[in-house]
Structure 1
Amino acid sequence: MTGALPVVSPEGMPRRPLWAGRTTALLGILLVAANLRTGVASLSPIISRVDVDIALPPALVGLLGMLPPLCFAVFGIVTPLIAKRFGLERTIVVALVLLVAGLTGRSLAPEAVTLVAASVLVFAAVGVGNVLLPPLVKKYFADRVGLVTTLYVSIMSVSTFLPPLVAVPVADAAGWRTSLGEWAVVAVIAAVPWVALVVRSRAAQAGGELDDEEPRAGQVRLALRSPIAWSLAVVFSVTSFNVYVMFAWLPSILSSVAGVGDAEAGVLLSLYAAMGLPAALLVPLLAARHGKVRLLVAVSVASFLVGYGGLLVAPAFATWLWVAFAGTGPLLFPLALVLINLRTRTHDGTIALSGVVQSVGYLIAAVGPILIGVLHEATGGWTWPIAVLAATAVPAAVFGFRAARPGYLEDGYPADSRV
């Protein structure tokens, strides 16, 4: 009688129980994900309260709004080099320590310069975490990329809309400094499992449990020359561009073209953000387990076109529906994150691909709100800005279908692959 065949994951790896020997890593990944948006989302809702104690000129407020994607871009490209030198676990521990320092520094800032410097520290640490989560998933959960990506992107979605909900009540009850500083506690908790993994890493490496491959040199250079990397970079850029623009301008757009009030515009912005949660739950699993990358790209493109088209043609009719469609378009974000793992063979390659893709994407996202604002001023309305947002569906389609082609960063695309 023959033994049972091992269960193989859709990623082609022998499937292990999710918790078997890697509970600490799973907790660490999820806790890091819980910290990747709190530092960004907790400041803007109470910026007026901060301004009472610390003078914040409008230009400085604008700078604070631009800092997150800029820091994400800069530290996205240097993170692979740092991680190659010090290792994934040590690098994430240092990032979390810097995050704690930055969050604490913001809450204690006596003046604007310290507030900005501490914010740079926060966003730099988050930029490192953004890049390292996909390779950490690849390293510890190569057999369950879809599931673990779903879990951590879902937590990121929650950590995006939770801070604005609690920031103002906490600031009212205990002051803005407490409202900003409380998130440092979450960062301290996130560091605990990674410190434990660093402490035992030498024994794990000696036993060959985790690091069964040697890092290969030139991975970042390889990614910069790779059509896979640039296809994913465009996909990530489109979703980041749209999200940052809509968070900056959607209430103004809706007030102008649909005649909604401030309260309703705020609710519709929340609806836009909430559409990221079902995408986070479904997209990685559909891509990793069922290979539905082309279908997901098509849904995203159609959602962008329907959402923005509705705002152009009939903005006052079923406005919530157009906003929901527009909010569905950025499902490209979790899709790009899971493809970073699915298009690499090694976690070393994943680090490089993640760094290049996210650096390019966040750099383009940083100029999005400014570009759309300038276009609005130049044209005196929102028709052309919305049309430009709708037009981003074109590169999303072209490069999204290209990213759907099978292949690996380390190999390049097979010569016979087709869209």
Structure 2
Amino acid sequence: MALRRLPQREPRVKGAGRRPLRGRLTALAGILLVAFSAREAVSAVSPLLGQIGADLPLNAVTTGILGMLPTASFAVMGFLALPLLRRIHLEHLLLVAILLTTLGQLGRAVGPDVLAFLVSTCIAMLGIGLVNVVAPPLLMKFFPDRIGGLAALHVTLLGVSTAVAAQFAIPVGTLYGWRFSIGIWAALSVLAALPWLILLMAGRTVDHSRTSPANDQQPPPANGAKPWRSSIGWGTALVFAGCSSNTFAALTWLPAVLVDRGLSQETAGSMLALYSILALPVALMVPMVVVRMSRPLPVAVLFVVAFAVGYGGIIFAPPASAAVWVVTAGLGQGAYSFAFIMINKRTRTQSGSGSLSAFSQGTGYALASVGPFLFALLHTPGDGWLASFGMLGAWLVVLLAGAIMVNKPRMLEDQGPFPVRDRTKELP
């Protein structure tokens, strides 16, 4: 009688949690500053659409294009990043991303017309999209022993940057004009470049993921990790598509929805900041929880429910209770943190992490780009945005389907196009 093979757990890095941060503090500062400067360019505009529209002739189509530019640009960079990752060092790619973000933010602050505004916005979003793709392999490179905690901190700072820009957009725009209000955030992007310039000038960009015996014993992925031939790759992409279509539609249109419901522009801007800041608690908790779960599907289900319940309240509940439903929907943003941590949870090498990050974000954001655009087109005065939110509900189904696909504990590097179910590799 054949002996039953014991289930094998996912490989752990030896010495994880015992290695000091000494020698990596500059990289840590760089990663955190990049995260803190990565989302102001997205959330600083929507509260100011009224002021911007007074200077630039924005209509429903151009505003819809503006709403889809973040996800569309993130998708473009997701697809371009994979060949770039094979030829250019991560630190150099990150500096290119920071340069694009800075130039885009400055360009749209001084752009004379709608076309210049949209083109500059696209440049800024391309830079942010490249940051999104480079961040997971950077964490794997410098901090393979601290992935969970630093992933939580990274996503937390993304939420902070989103909320800060949304909260101060109207006050700063009222005092100094909308151009200053959206352009001032370029200063943070410049600041985020400094630690990486220091590292490169000092020649201190050691790949810490290769100093671990556990990683040294792992062979490189056969024929390279191919996420497009894996259910892990497509599942992660669908999670990004579902959560990004919902999040970026809200970042673009939530103030307009709440103004239609009877709130003032200032209050609607504060509600957007509240929605954004709610990414913080879930961003802190999700990575810590997910890295310890072999099958994290219940976490994703909670976010889908939060989105759906929040939307129902925003549409049907009295406007006076809007904060309650904005809070509820805002908690659903934890799905992004879920998607982000699954990149490194379902890979064991830096190359695998980079491949999965590029494919899942490129494909996911490409699919999600239609969300903010359709949200505007489906709205007609008097319908209460019902059709628009119904469309977002369909994307929640996509999110749930992707979470089911990545739920099974296995690694991208081990998967073929149609992997055979192997229970010996599953966690108990």
| Structure-1-length-normalised TM-score | 0.84
Asked whether the 8 Å contact 1:149–1:338 carries over to 2, the reply is yes
- Cα separation, 2, equivalents of 1:403 and 1:167: 38
- Per-residue CA deviation, residues 208-262 of structure 1 (Å, 9 max, x unaligned), is 7599799869647x11111001111111111111112333444555567xx5433
Structure-to-structure mapping, 1:344-363, within 5 angstroms: 344-363=347-366
- Cα separation, 1, equivalents of 2:120 and 2:387: 37
Q: By how many angstroms is 1:106 displaced?
A: 3.0
Asked whether the 8 Å contact 1:236–1:361 carries over to 2, the reply is yes
Structure with higher RCO (Cα < 8 A, 6+ apart): 2
Answering whether residue 295 of structure 2 is matched by residue 288 of structure 1, we say no
Answering whether residue 426 of structure 2 is matched by residue 394 of structure 1, we say no
Counterpart in the other structure of 2:141 = 139
- Cα separation, 1, equivalents of 2:311 and 2:177: 39
Counterpart in the other structure of 2:422 = 415
One-letter amino acid matched to 2:422: A
Structure-to-structure mapping, 1:239-388, within 5 angstroms: 239-251=243-255, 253=257, 260-262=262-264, 265-289=268-292, 291=294, 293-310=296-313, 318-377=321-380, 380=383, 382-388=385-391
- Cα separation, 2, equivalents of 1:175 and 1:301: 38
Counterpart in the other structure of 1:224 = 228
Q: 2:93 aligns with which of 83, 91, 94?
A: 91
- Cα separation, 2, equivalents of 1:60 and 1:312: 25
Asked whether the 8 Å contact 2:238–2:401 carries over to 1, the reply is no
Counterpart in the other structure of 1:238 = 242
Answering whether residue 134 of structure 2 is matched by residue 127 of structure 1, we say no
Give the CA RMSD over aligned residues. 3.5
- Cα separation, 2, equivalents of 1:392 and 1:113: 30
Q: By how many angstroms is 1:48 displaced?
A: 4.7
One-letter amino acid matched to 1:359: G
Q: By how many angstroms is 1:205 displaced?
A: 6.8
| Structure-2-length-normalised TM-score | 0.82
Q: Which runs of 5+ in 1 are unaligned?
A: 1-8
Counterpart in the other structure of 1:190 = 192
Aligned residues: 407
* 1:291–1:374 CA distance, 2 compared to 1 (3 A): same
Q: Which runs of 5+ in 2 are unaligned?
A: 1-9
- Cα separation, 2, equivalents of 1:379 and 1:362: 30
- Per-residue CA deviation, residues 162-196 of structure 1 (Å, 9 max, x unaligned), is 11333333344444443333222211211111122
* 1:179–1:397 CA distance, 2 compared to 1 (3 A): closer
- Per-residue CA deviation, residues 280-326 of structure 1 (Å, 9 max, x unaligned), is 11111111245572331232233234334555775679554333322
Per mean C-alpha deviation after superposition, the further-off stretch among 233-242 and 39-48 is 39-48
- Cα separation, 2, equivalents of 1:196 and 1:142: 22
Q: By how many angstroms is 1:10 displaced?
A: 9.4
- Cα separation, 2, equivalents of 1:205 and 1:337: 21
Asked whether the 8 Å contact 2:347–2:411 carries over to 1, the reply is yes
Asked whether the 8 Å contact 2:142–2:207 carries over to 1, the reply is no
- Per-residue CA deviation, residues 33-80 of structure 1 (Å, 9 max, x unaligned), is 11211122223434554556x644424444333222111110111112
- Cα separation, 2, equivalents of 1:195 and 1:378: 51
Q: What is the percent sequence identity of the aligned residues? A: 35
* 1:292–1:155 CA distance, 2 compared to 1 (3 A): farther
Asked whether the 8 Å contact 2:155–2:283 carries over to 1, the reply is yes
One-letter amino acid matched to 2:361: Q
One-letter amino acid matched to 1:300: F
